[in-house]
Amino acid sequence: MRKTIVLTLLLFATNSFGQANKVDVVKLVELSGEVNEFYNIADEISKQLSANNRESFKKDMEPLITKQKKNLVAYYAQNLSQSEVENLIEFYQTPLAKKFMMIKQNYATVLSNKSEDFKSEIQGIIMKYMM
């Protein structure tokens, strides 16, 4: 009887502290918007290319983005328990999280619109230290 109880407790402890289910982690990564950030970075870079090269660049970026997504999923799966992943998924499906994601996306748009000003300010500071 004792062995059964100890074994049950060990199995429970292993499951609660073990790695998260990767299918659920993929869902978490997608809900969190982190994959979209990879695409946004690629879009920003593509704007610096000629119109003819933009689509080819995005196609070439796809395997790299897929690799980054796999790395992110593996990292989260290793460092989060299944329970933590489920709680985060539940959070990202709440109205508060959806509002936060919308505000975050809007800020990214505003920031990208102002990035040229920011870059020129940085260049001014860099020039100060290079002379």
Whole-structure pTM over 0.75, yes or no?
A: no
User: Model confidence over 35-79: pLDDT tens digits?
Assistant: 888 888 888 888 888 888 888 988 999 999 999 999 999 999 999
In a domain, 100, yes or no: yes
Can you tell me the distance from the alpha carbon of 94 to that of 32, in angstroms, rounded to the nearest whole number?
12
Residue 65: its pLDDT value, please?
Answer: 93
Q: Does residue 106 lie within any of the structural domains? A: yes
In a domain, 30, yes or no: yes
Residue 86 belongs to domain spanning: 20-130
Is residue 1 included in any domain, yes or no? no
Question: 9-13, 43-47, 97-101: which has the minimum mean pLDDT?
Answer: 9-13
Smallest Cα–Cα separation from 85: which of 95, 74, 76? Answer: 76
Instruction: Quote the pLDDT of residue 129.
Output: 81
Kindly report the average pLDDT of the chain as a whole number. Answer: 82
120 pLDDT exceeds 90?
A: no
Close Cβ partners of 33 (under 8 Å, ≥ 6 residues apart): 101, 104, 105
Q: Is residue 73, in this structure, part of any structural domain at all?
A: yes
Q: How many domains does the chain have?
A: 1
